[in-house]
Amino acid sequence: MATLLKYFSVYFLSSLKFVFGPALGIIAYDMPVIVVIILTALGMMTTVYIFTFFGDPLRDFFKKFRKKERKIFTRRNRQLVEVWKRFGVPGVCLLTPLILTPPGGAILINVLGAKKSRIIRWMWFSAVFWSTIICLLASYVEGFRDLIEL
């Protein structure tokens, strides 16, 4: 049961903030690298699927509880649109695990109107790529372990 809880915690943390999965799985729990790679990628992609396919109903549901309308043209929104214009779907997907959170990247790409199939394809690539890189660095590079240690 304790092992299952460890697996779930790596999976869940990866769905919220990508780097926490490898940090917890490899450094804190000393889990096998391949298991952490898989759990980290699956955690991120669970969030991406939820926001890609259920984002509109979720937004409509939470809009009911908002008291006042939000501003559309904020500084942060302008910066996000600039990232979108500059890098497109592949760039935003590749930046999502490192700079944005999985929910943040998925919401940004969906709001800006990318095709769902393209979002899913690039996010899978990004999740597998970055989870492999971060897990291998955390496993084999001592200085990196100290950098992301919890």
pLDDT by residue, tens only, the chain of 150 residues:
789 999 999 999 999 999 899 989 998 898 999 999 999 999 999 999 999 999 878 777 767 777 777 777 788 778 877 877 888 999 999 989 988 899 988 988 888 888 999 999 999 999 999 999 999 988 887 666 666 654
Report how far residue 14's alpha carbon sits from residue 24's, in angstroms, rounded to the nearest whole number. Answer: 10
CA nearest 39: which of 10, 5, 2? 10
- In this structure, how many other beta carbons lie within 10 angstroms of the beta carbon of residue 99? 12
Q: Which residues contact 49 (CB under 8 A, 6 or more apart)?
A: 120
Q: What angle do CA 38, 43, 46 make, to 5 degrees?
A: 120
Token pair for residue 17? 């903030």
In the structure, how many helices (H) and strands (E) does the chain have?
7, 0
The DSSP code for 10 is H
Global pTM?
0.83
